[in-house]
Amino acid sequence: MSVALRVLDDGAWVSVNDERRVSVSELWRVGDPDACACECADYVVEGFTDVGVDGRTVTADVYGQCIRCGQGSSVPGLPVGRIVDGEFRPVAGEAIRFPRGGLGAPQALPLPGSVGED
């Protein structure tokens, strides 16, 4: 089964199968040394530049800023959802951590109160 992924509305939305599913202004907890110096940034996504897939994980290249320190940056390959049984499931409510020393494979870590997807 194929799933259509696109960026819509000048980078404001990630579309899955022609349905707007992930929007800008979402607050993500991102532990990425390229985003800023904060150990785990509270990162506001201001726009999407690309969308793709890594296995069953839907990823997006985003730009925005950390609301803790104010640093703006671009983060490639941020996980925004998963495809499970042909359906899109967002990863909102999870912390996204990247290993120190490079992006490599992102690891999503559930935050208290989040619902597990697996």
Give the pLDDT score at 1: 67
Residue type, 98: F
d(Cα 62, Cα 98) in Å, to the nearest integer?
A: 15
pLDDT at 97: 46
Asked if residue 105 belongs to a domain, the reply is no
Would 94 be classed as within a structural domain? Answer: yes
Cα(28)–Cα(96) distance, rounded to whole angstroms? 7
Q: What is the pLDDT along the chain (118 residues), one digit of tens a residue?
A: 688 899 999 889 999 998 999 888 778 887 777 778 887 778 888 999 999 988 889 999 999 998 888 889 888 888 889 988 888 988 865 545 444 433 343 333 333 333 344 3
For the chain, how many structural domains are there in total? 1
Structural domain range at position 21? 5-98
Task: Give the pLDDT of residue 92.
Answer: 62
Give a yes or no: residue 42 inside a domain.
Answer: yes
